[in-house]
């Protein structure tokens, strides 16, 4: 089977094997790793360096003859003093050879196909090539720096020229590899972070470049590298690595075929990313019809349209997350459960909350707060059902307090664990290993958390500031840091879970947090004063319970859907791996 047939006959495997990644990467779908296409690229390189990508031509000069000619040329350069004689490396043993190659190919060590160009300390203006100068996708030097000798970094030492292959030996998994494909002026000098190989006539730098990116060479590097956080190999390990050398003419055919197939992969990648992006827009648009529905009849009509295509719409992790966010939004708009006219209206809850707070002030348990401005119609993000009310968070809560600024350490006798902003995840507070502060501080016991306290993150990045989580833990065990604000309300009047839900909805962020974001030193701040004035919708207490129960059911279904998706995705990744293993 030709590689072209392999691509087209199994295109569904290559394009459907997609997984979520935590860091942005190549392409427009930054949250996704197109795993199948990535494996296809690796397969193309692996077939190429094994002699399985293009056919062998019996008329080609045997690679053993080519290597003899290269060896003679290298000895000539050594004898003339143009290059230094390298240290002799051991002969290749049978155990070292990772796979079989065609009969007219030869295994040799990388050192034997070229040489380095020596080192010098810059003494005049020069072109400095460091890792940042490389376009690793194209294998080219793209952004070198021109420096004066006086500004030369201590690592600027290795000489290079047109035709040289450079390989970053620091964090080699990043594949910062390039071929210098043109004359560079002023004189180019590379960082000592690179291993340098200038191939002799008969070995293409473009072939070496593709071999250094192949899974086989990556496996060798991983077997000899040192370090965990910043793994690296040294020059000796690089030059000691094996490389399969085809006849020179076949090298040209291999490079041309690899480039042709990589262009097909590029097209496949672009089409897949475009399809994923279009799918995301479609899901977002259809879900928006639910929150924009004017009445129950229109809502049901829009939901019927979505449910008819449910299996094709919710096929990615992002689409399921969008569904979750829509459910949250519907909940606080009064569109998730039906209203009951017999429920006590929220206006009565507001009267009780105001009366309770007045008593707390009278009993000197809280200070009288500055009156918040009345709510005007222009502030209200959407219309509410009968029996609901808009209210400011400051008026709904009994206590709003900043956390502790006490220094925390890893451990202390009787230390109090302190929750920080990173512990708020997806509307919850994650309890585990935390730094502690002394229990002998004046702030305690006042700043101990109690079950159902809501914590609001007032300072963070612009994307994360304002995130909120609810504490579900034992009373008087944990405290919280100063970048967090504690909101405590009486569950007899307002469910803390409903308040936390409201503050985690998309529209709350859009209308209540984003307009107030102020950046300072790379951080954004939306303080307690602003937070107290933010609006949430308040349903009758009985409906709050019904909403939260229904929400639990629907979120469980979404999680089950996501778990099934993970199983399908894992199967697709395994299919891609199995197909690659079968072909190689």
Same domain for 404 and 518, yes or no, is yes
- Domain extent, residue 398, equals 346-539
- Residue 535 has, within 13 A of its CA and on its CB side, a CA count of 22
DSSP structure class, residue 61: P
Number of domains in the chain: 2
Q: Give the pLDDT score at 23.
A: 44
Q: Name residue, tokens 């079989």.
A: 100
**Angle at 12 (CA atoms; ends 137, 41), nearest 5 degrees:** 20
Share of the chain above pLDDT 90, in %: 79
Q: Give the pLDDT score at 27.
A: 40
Work out the average pLDDT over 375-382. 95
Work out the average pLDDT over 365-374. 89
Indicate if the pLDDT at residue 190 is higher than 70: yes
Work out the average pLDDT over 524-538. 94
Answer whether residue 304 is part of any domain. Answer: no
pTM of the model: 0.76
**What distance in Å separates the CA atoms of residue 574 and residue 37, rounded to the nearest whole number?**
13
Q: Answer with the one of 224, 246, 268 that is the final residue of a domain.
A: 246
Give the chain's radius of gyration (CA, Å): 32
Band (79; pLDDT cuts 50, 70, 90): very high
For 446-549, strand residue ranges (E) read 454-457, 459-460, 468-470, 479-480, 484-488, 518-520, 523-525, 535-538
Indicate if the pLDDT at residue 421 is higher than 50: yes
Same domain for 90 and 239, yes or no, is yes
Pair 165, 212: CB distance under 8 Å: yes
Answer whether residue 389 is part of any domain. Answer: yes
Answer whether residue 233 is part of any domain. Answer: yes
Answer whether residue 576 is part of any domain. Answer: no
Answer whether residue 3 is part of any domain. Answer: no
Indicate if the pLDDT at residue 572 is higher than 90: no
Q: Give the pLDDT score at 30.
A: 53
Condensed to tens digits (0 to 9), the pLDDT of residues 102-125 reads 999 999 999 999 999 999 999 999
Q: Give the pLDDT score at 29.
A: 42
Work out the average pLDDT over 489-505. 94
Q: Give the pLDDT score at 1.
A: 61
Same domain for 409 and 534, yes or no, is yes
Share of the chain above pLDDT 70, in %: 97
* Cβ neighbours for 375, distance < 8 A, ≥ 6 positions apart: 390, 391, 392, 535
Condensed to tens digits (0 to 9), the pLDDT of residues 502-524 reads 999 999 999 999 999 877 667 89
**What distance in Å separates the CA atoms of residue 444 and residue 451, rounded to the nearest whole number?**
16
CATH (domain of 114): 3.90.220.20
Q: Give the pLDDT score at 25.
A: 39
Mean pLDDT of the chain: 92
Answer whether residue 174 is part of any domain. Answer: yes
Q: Answer with the one of 214, 229, 246 that is the final residue of a domain.
A: 246
Indicate if the pLDDT at residue 497 is higher than 70: yes
Work out the average pLDDT over 355-377. 90
Q: Give the pLDDT score at 233.
A: 96
Task: Give the chain's largest Cα–Cα span.
Answer: 102
**What distance in Å separates the CA atoms of residue 526 and residue 393, rounded to the nearest whole number?**
14
Work out the average pLDDT over 25-45. 76
Length reported for the chain: 584
Indicate if the pLDDT at residue 541 is higher than 50: yes
Q: Give the pLDDT score at 385.
A: 95
Condensed to tens digits (0 to 9), the pLDDT of residues 213-226 reads 999 999 999 999 99
Q: Give the pLDDT score at 137.
A: 84
Q: Answer with the one of 246, 271, 304 that is the final residue of a domain.
A: 246
Work out the average pLDDT over 83-95. 91
Strands 165-168 and 19-20: unpaired
Answer whether residue 171 is part of any domain. Answer: yes
Same domain for 350 and 227, yes or no, is no
Band (275; pLDDT cuts 50, 70, 90): very high
Pair 514, 361: CB distance under 8 Å: no
Comparing C-alpha atoms, which of 330, 356, 357, 349 is closest to residue 387?
349
Same domain for 511 and 362, yes or no, is yes
Answer whether residue 578 is part of any domain. Answer: no
Band (28; pLDDT cuts 50, 70, 90): very low
């Amino acid at each position: 089977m030709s590689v072209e047939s392999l691509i087209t006959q199994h295109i569904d495997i290559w394009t459907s094997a997609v997984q979520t990644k935590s860091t942005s990467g190549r392409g427009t779908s930054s949250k996704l790793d197109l795993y199948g296409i990535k494996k296809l690229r690796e397969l193309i390189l692996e077939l190429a360096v094994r002699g399985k990508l293009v056919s062998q031509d019996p008329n080609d000069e045997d690679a053993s003859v080519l290597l003899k000619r290269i060896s003679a040329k290298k000895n000539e350069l050594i004898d003339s003093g143009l290059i230094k004689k390298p240290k002799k490396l051991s002969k290749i043993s049978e155990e070292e050879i990772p796979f079989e190659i065609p009969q007219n190919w030869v295994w040799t060590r990388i050192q034997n196909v070229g040489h380095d160009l020596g080192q010098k300390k810059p003494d005049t203006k020069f072109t400095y090539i460091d890792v940042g100068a490389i376009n690793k996708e194209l294998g080219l030097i793209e952004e070198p720096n021109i420096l004066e000798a006086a500004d030369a970094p201590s690592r600027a030492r290795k000489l290079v020229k047109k035709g040289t292959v450079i390989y970053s030996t620091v964090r080699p998994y990043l594949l910062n590899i390039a071929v210098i494909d043109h004359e560079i002026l002023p004189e180019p000098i590379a960082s000592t972070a690179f291993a340098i190989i200038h191939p002799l006539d008969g070995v293409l730098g473009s072939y070496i470049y593709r071999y250094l990116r192949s899974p086989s060479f990556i496996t060798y590097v991983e077997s000899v590298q040192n370090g965990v956080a910043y793994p690296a190999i040294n020059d000796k390990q690089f030059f000691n690595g094996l490389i399969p050398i085809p006849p020179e003419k076949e090298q040209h055919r291999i490079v041309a075929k690899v480039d042709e197939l990589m262009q097909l992969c590029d097209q496949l990648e672009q089409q897949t990313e475009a399809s994923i992006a279009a799918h995301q827009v479609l899901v977002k648009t259809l879900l928006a019809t639910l929150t924009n529905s004017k009445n129950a009849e229109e809502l049901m009509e829009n939901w019927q349209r979505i449910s008819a295509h449910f299996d094709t719409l919710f096929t990615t992790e992002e689409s399921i997350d969008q569904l979750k966010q829509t459910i949250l939004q519907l909940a606080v708009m009064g569109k998730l459960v039906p209203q009951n006219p017999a429920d006590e209206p929220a206006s009565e809850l507001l009267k009780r909350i105001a009366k309770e707070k007045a008593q707390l002030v009278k009993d000197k348990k809280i200070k009288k707060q500055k009156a918040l401005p009345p709510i005007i119609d222009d502030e209200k993000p959407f219309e509410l059902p009968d029996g609901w009310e808009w209210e400011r968070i400051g008026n709904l809560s009994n206590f709003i307090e900043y956390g502790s600024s006490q220094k925390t350490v890893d451990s202390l006798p009787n230390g109090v664990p302190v929750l920080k902003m990173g512990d708020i995840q997806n509307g919850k507070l994650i309890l585990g290993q935390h730094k502690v502060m002394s229990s002998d501080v004046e702030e305690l016991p006042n700043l101990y958390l109690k079950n159902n306290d809501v914590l609001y993150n007032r300072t963070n990045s612009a994307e994360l500031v304002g995130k909120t989580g609810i504490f579900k833990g034992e009373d008087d065990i944990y405290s919280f840091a100063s970048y967090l604000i504690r909101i405590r309300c009486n569950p007899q009047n307002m469910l803390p879970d409903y308040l936390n839900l409201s503050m985690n909805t998309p529209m709350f962020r859009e209308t209540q947090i984003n307009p107030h974001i102020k950046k300072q030193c790379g951080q954004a701040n939306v303080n307690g004063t602003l937070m107290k004035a933010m609006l949430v919708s308040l349903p009758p207490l009985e409906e709050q319970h019904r909403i939260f129960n229904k929400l639990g059911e629907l979120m469980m279904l979404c999680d089950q859907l996501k778990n099934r998706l993970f199983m399908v995705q894992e199967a697709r990744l395994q299919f891609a791996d199995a197909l690659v293993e079968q072909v190689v």
